[in-house]
Amino acid sequence: MRLVNFAFKMATFMISLWVCVTSLAALIAAIFSGFSIYLAYLHWKYSHIPGPKRDSFFSGNLPYILTERAKGKTIFEMVDELHGTHGPVVLLFVFNNPFTFVSDPELVRKCVITLNLPKNPRVYAHLGYPFGQRLAGRGVLNETDHDVWQKRRALLNPAFHRRYLMNLMSSFNDSCNLFLEKLGEMADGKTVVNMAEEFARVTLDVIGKVAFNVDVDTIQDANSPFPSSVYKCLKGVMLSLRTPFWRISVSTFADQRSVIEACQFIRNFGKKVILDRQEAVLRGENTPPDILTHILSVKEKQASITTEDLVDDFVTFFVAGQETTSNQLSFTLYEILRHPNVENRIVKEIEDILGSRQFLEYKDLGNLQFLGQTLKEGLGLHPPIGGITRVSTRDENIGGYIFPAGTSVNISQFLMHRHSDSWKDPLQFDPDRFSPEAKGEIPHSVYFPFSLGPRTCIGQTFAQIEARVFMARLLQQFELTLCPGQDNMKHEEALTLRPKGGVLCTLKRRNEN
Binding-site sequence positions for heme: 457
Residues 6+ apart with CB under 8 A from 318: 207, 208, 211, 212, 266, 270
Neighbours of 1 (CB within 10 A): 5
503 SS3 class: coil
Binding-site annotation, residues: 457
| Element containing residue 89 per DSSP (H, E) | strand 89-94
Residue 190: other Cβ atoms inside 10 A: 9
Contacts of 158 by beta carbon, 8 Å cutoff, 6+ apart? 164, 294
- Point out which residues pair with 403 in neighbouring strands: 396
User: Is-contact 168 177, C-beta < 8 A?
Assistant: no
* 442 CB-side CA count, 13 A: 21
| Cβ-based neighbours of 184, under 8 Å, separated by 6 or more | 477, 509
Q: Give the dihedral sign, CA 26/31/34/37.
A: negative
Query: Both ends of the chain: CA-CA distance in Å?
Result: 108
d(CA 274, CA 277) in angstroms, rounded, equals 5
